[in-house]
Structure 1
Amino acid sequence: MEKLLLYVEVHQLKKQGFKIAAIAKKLDISRNTVYKYLNMDLEEASDWITSLGSRRKKLDLYHDQILSWLKEHPDLSSAQIEDWLKERYPTLEVSGGTVRSYVSEMRDIHHIPKVIRVRTHEAVEELPMGQQVQVDWGEITVKDSENKNKKLYFITFVLSHSRYKYVEWMDRPFTTRDTIRCHEKAFQFFGGMPEEIVYDQDHLITVSENAGDIILTSEFQAYKQERRFRIYLCRKADPQSKGKVENVVKFVKRNFAKNRVFVDLEAWNEKCLAWLERTGNHNVHHTTKKRPVEVFALEKQHLQPVSPMLSSKSPLESSISRTVHKDNIIKYKSNRYSLPLGTYRPRGENTVYVEVQEEELIIRREPQGEVLARHKLCHGKGELIKNRQHTRDRSKGIQAYKETVIRQFQDQKKAEKFLHEVGCRYPRYIRDQLQVIQHAITHFRLEIDNALAVCIQDQMWSANDLRDIAQHLTRLKETETPNPASIQKSKNINPAIKTTTVTREIDDYIKILGGVL
């Protein structure tokens, strides 16, 4: 009946002199529909509308299934419904347009609206084959088999030319080591490596952009040097630089993960790979109007060949980087581990390296450097594992502590002036500052007075500065000092070589001096 009323309205508006475009806009229908109604008389329209009631549609067999999905998940897209149908009924052959029309009609009949969010985009030129892959991370909360919330994390790779994708999931946040491993698996999946990789400013790979001089984490810097790819780091708040992979992140969330039940991680990843083959890399891309899998067959030839996956025993994975917090602790697997007071540097580098050996957690300033702390590995969550030696020395007062530190310098007046300036700048942390100075005196005693002179001359009033300068002067002295073995070797003259002193007569010396006897 609704279609018959619409037919009548179209003819009435036409008789009133409305144009086709105006009729379509007024009735909220397409111009093709207006033309179709105008080309039919009343009898033809009645027969056509009657036939619609008795005609079966291809998806009528799945009507109840689709309706149950829409009622349970009103925000389902027709593309996701298409994928779910193909997943459960592999022999079903149906186009995306058919599914969209059917789902739209069902929403109207059963009053299940869908909210549409529109985002503004800017078109960019297509890149050559094999030039670039874009990488991004995402996370989503789904339901598990017990109907409990489960948070999952994933990393996505997409080749910019073909839109060919790779996705891998984890049930915990990614580490830099996980990121490197996923890069290797993505390169194996693609069968090669592009020239350039585009990233967001993610803490897993970058420390700072530094006005264009990208500072990478030590692990990822070593990996980049190993694989020799070029990095393009997007600016903050500039999503269009990597819009392709951002669309993939949304596609993975909405088409694959949303409303799917999580059983275990292995099965989830297997289903995701099957989804990539069935939908993610198979469906026609809306921008290129081509199937990614077909374009990838050509782009694969332009990728750089890669050697077999890096060994899990590679030195790249020997340690994990962590950031030192201002309370001199690091976080590792949901627990906090203490470090010696003064490890945190307010204006310095606060990255340390964590290594696990059996049941012991070892923390170093450098990957193979001096050990800062050792802790027994904690398998709980939310615990603070603290070494008593890392706490403040409360056995004596601040003034007594200052006097003890001052007496260890040769020029005690300079030391007193330095501590006075440090106390003015760090009144709340004076004990911590004294602890750092005492540590520097103990480890760099030979150069501590020279370091003090440099600090006063350059007006650097910080215990951390004093320690760093003393350490630097110590290293310089070590490199300039000759090797004792070489000195000893030069002293050992070969006994087989004999020397004879030349002697002259006394008259010869008198002639040289111009004198007489």
Structure 2
Amino acid sequence: MDKFEMYIQIRGLVNQRYSVSAIARKLKISRNTVYKYLKKSPDEMAEWTASTMIRTKKLDIHKELILNWLRKYPDISAAQVYDWLKEKFPSFKVGESTVRNYVKEIREKFSIPKEAQKRNYEAIPDPPMGEQIQADFGFVTVRNKVGKPVKLMFIVFVLAHSRYKYVWFQNRPFTTKDVVVAHKKAFIAFGGVSKEILYDQDRLLVVSENEGDLLLTEEFQQFVNEVKFKVVLCRKADPESKGRVENAVGFIKKNFVQHRVFHNIDSWNEQCQHWLSRTGNGKINNGTKRRPTDVFLLEKQHMRQVSLLNHNSNTSITRSVRKDNTVLFLSNRYTVPLGTYQKHPEVSTMRNKENKLIIYVKETGEVLASHSISPDKGQLIRNTSHQRDRSKGLKELMDDVGSYFTNGEMIQMYFQELRNRYPRYLRDQLSIIKKCIDVSSVEVLNDTLSLCMERQLFSANDFQDVVQLLKRQRQVNMNNPSAIAESKPTSADVEELPLLEAEAKQRPLDQYVAIMEGIK
């Protein structure tokens, strides 16, 4: 209802001797609003109403950005708009309710409706602090920076009392080993483990369930025995029994994942941890009316401390990771994945019953490498998965250089010859050609390639010399138009390339004088 129209109605009801309370009930407004309107004369009301139409708002500076988001993603929620604004502008101080009202006004003004999807759950009393963690899996399809779809899987852990959350994403399906590692990451984030953990009947965890009797997968059962917590399963088709984690899955999909561009899995998980601190655990929960972060400070004290090592600490030894991502053991070097030196400068090692060296992260128990122990000395024991994939970067460089030539088949033949003649220096050869590309026209490059193939000059240095020859001849032709007909270099010109490049070295005159004085 228009403000001035409401003012007229209030005045009319006053004339009919309605009380302020009766007017407020009838128009469904507060009594303070009625009093505020009654204090104004018709002229004052008209002036005030007109001023509200042109009054600027705090979010007007972000209007185009918000409008662009709403048009691009019509189903985006006001809560996600609020989170994106905080992410984009760290100093953003506007309240969430203000953002919600502003988004609502823009939707109405520009006719951008939103279809709300709601899911109802049965209310269940909160368990005591430290009593229960709820866990669940989810998967989403996102887009990378070129618009290609990428499937991501994630696992969510929620402390049932405080609603404090932990999330871990993967760009491949989870295995039982991955699930165990994710549990350990969550326990570290929570500072301990609860008495019980509630799950769906997932095949990675449960083989079968018969009226409460559980048969867990072997690897997961070993983990449960080690950490000592109770496994509780939801009944089939009863998602309400773990409504807290179900809500968390939906919240993650709609507020964090939706419309976010994927770059790589590491940066994605890093963004997610920032989101958890900022919004996932930092925003007031609708059910508890408190921030999960605040309640977690109390619940954390009720969590049971656990050792997250998979191995006997009596046989475990801490070792330093060398700069070349190897670990020294009995005078041999054993590789670990690239980047371990930066992430985990110190790791733990143990020798198991199968005479294998297990290298793992002490804090989480995550296994980094497993090697058969060599009886020799001074050997490098390497896992092929730990080596850098150099072929990918080389192929990208060849594709990049080859894209500047018109005859794709001929340039690939030339690359193959370079590969055969300079297998260890192919990258250097391609780099020289790349430098020629940066300072030459397409015509010069194509003519150079044809001449090199014709004269079998399979060297990047020869390629560079031919480029320089062609560029010199073209410069001469520009200065002497009558010589254009003879502009194409001949085989004799190519054969004389070393001679053309050679320059006689000349000594300064004073050196000759010094020599003559010495003879005297």
Q: Do these two structures clear the TM 0.5 threshold for a shared fold by scoring above it? A: yes
Give distance in 2, aligned partners of 1:108 and 1:18. 34
Give distance in 1, aligned partners of 2:238 and 2:17. 50
Q: Look up the equivalent residue of 1:77 and give its one-letter code.
A: S
- In the alignment, what sits opposite 2:50? 50
2:284 matches 1:284:
yes
2:72 matches 1:93:
no
Give how far 1:294 is off: 1.1
Give how far 1:215 is off: 1.6
- In the alignment, what sits opposite 1:221? 221
What root-mean-square deviation, in Å, do the aligned CA atoms of Structure 1 and Structure 2 show?
2.8
Give how far 1:147 is off: 0.5
Do 1:10 and 1:34's aligned partners in 2 also have CA atoms closer than 8 Å?
no
Give how far 1:306 is off: 1.4
In 2 relative to 1, CA 20–216 (structure 1 residues): closer, same or farther, beyond 3 Å? farther
- In the alignment, what sits opposite 1:248? 248
Aligned counterparts, 1:140-219, within 5 A? 140-219=140-219
In 2 relative to 1, CA 168–9 (structure 1 residues): closer, same or farther, beyond 3 Å? same
Q: Kindly provide the CA deviation profile for residues 428-472 of structure 1, in whole angstroms up to 9, marking residues without a partner as x.
A: xxxxxxxxxxxxxxxxxxxxxxxxxxxxxxxxxxxxxxxxxxxxx
Give distance in 1, aligned partners of 2:243 and 2:41. 50
Q: Kindly provide the CA deviation profile for residues 376-423 of structure 1, in whole angstroms up to 9, marking residues without a partner as x.
A: xxx9xxxxxxxxxxxxxxxxxxxxxxxxxxxxxxxxxxxxxxxxxxxx
Give how far 1:150 is off: 1.3
Give distance in 2, aligned partners of 1:54 and 1:6. 19
Give distance in 1, aligned partners of 2:188 and 2:90. 28
- In the alignment, what sits opposite 1:473? none
2:37 matches 1:35:
no
Give distance in 2, aligned partners of 1:185 and 1:83. 25
In 2 relative to 1, CA 19–287 (structure 1 residues): closer, same or farther, beyond 3 Å? farther
Runs in 1 of length 4+ with deviation above 3 angstroms? 5-27, 29-41, 308-313
- In the alignment, what sits opposite 1:114? 114
Do 1:201 and 1:234's aligned partners in 2 also have CA atoms closer than 8 Å?
yes
Q: Kindly provide the CA deviation profile for residues 331-353 of structure 1, in whole angstroms up to 9, marking residues without a partner as x.
A: xxxxxxxxxxxxxxxxxxxxxxx
In 2 relative to 1, CA 41–182 (structure 1 residues): closer, same or farther, beyond 3 Å? same
Do 1:142 and 1:151's aligned partners in 2 also have CA atoms closer than 8 Å?
yes
Gap regions ≥5 residues in structure 2: 314-384, 386-520
- In the alignment, what sits opposite 2:456? none
In 2 relative to 1, CA 138–120 (structure 1 residues): closer, same or farther, beyond 3 Å? same
In 2 relative to 1, CA 148–311 (structure 1 residues): closer, same or farther, beyond 3 Å? farther
- In the alignment, what sits opposite 2:70? 70
Gap regions ≥5 residues in structure 1: 314-378, 380-517
Give how far 1:12 is off: 5.0
Give how far 1:14 is off: 7.2
Give how far 1:35 is off: 3.3
Give distance in 1, aligned partners of 2:2 and 2:229. 61
- In the alignment, what sits opposite 2:354? none
In 2 relative to 1, CA 42–207 (structure 1 residues): closer, same or farther, beyond 3 Å? farther
Instruction: Pick which of 214-223 and 87-96 moved more.
Output: 214-223
In 2 relative to 1, CA 240–111 (structure 1 residues): closer, same or farther, beyond 3 Å? same
Give distance in 2, aligned partners of 1:308 and 1:25. 61
- In the alignment, what sits opposite 1:132? 132
Q: Kindly provide the CA deviation profile for residues 47-74 of structure 1, in whole angstroms up to 9, marking residues without a partner as x.
A: 3212213422111111111110011001
Identity %: 47
In 2 relative to 1, CA 23–137 (structure 1 residues): closer, same or farther, beyond 3 Å? farther
Do 1:180 and 1:220's aligned partners in 2 also have CA atoms closer than 8 Å?
yes
Give distance in 2, aligned partners of 1:304 and 1:38. 59
Give distance in 1, aligned partners of 2:312 and 2:18. 73
- In the alignment, what sits opposite 1:331? none
- In the alignment, what sits opposite 1:362? none
Do 2:227 and 2:307's aligned partners in 1 also have CA atoms closer than 8 Å?
no
In 2 relative to 1, CA 12–177 (structure 1 residues): closer, same or farther, beyond 3 Å? farther
TM value normalised by structure 2: 0.56
Q: Look up the equivalent residue of 1:189 and give its one-letter code.
A: A
Give distance in 1, aligned partners of 2:168 and 2:190. 14
Q: Look up the equivalent residue of 2:125 and give its one-letter code.
A: E
Instruction: Pick which of 54-63 and 9-18 moved more.
Output: 9-18
Give distance in 2, aligned partners of 1:109 and 1:203. 49
Q: Kindly provide the CA deviation profile for residues 73-110 of structure 1, in whole angstroms up to 9, marking residues without a partner as x.
A: 01111110111000010011111111111111111111
TM value normalised by structure 1: 0.56
Give how far 1:305 is off: 0.5
Give distance in 2, aligned partners of 1:204 and 1:252. 22
Do 1:20 and 1:34's aligned partners in 2 also have CA atoms closer than 8 Å?
no
SS in 1 for 2:211: helix
Instruction: Pick which of 172-181 and 248-257 moved more.
Output: 172-181
Give how far 1:248 is off: 0.3
- In the alignment, what sits opposite 1:8? 8
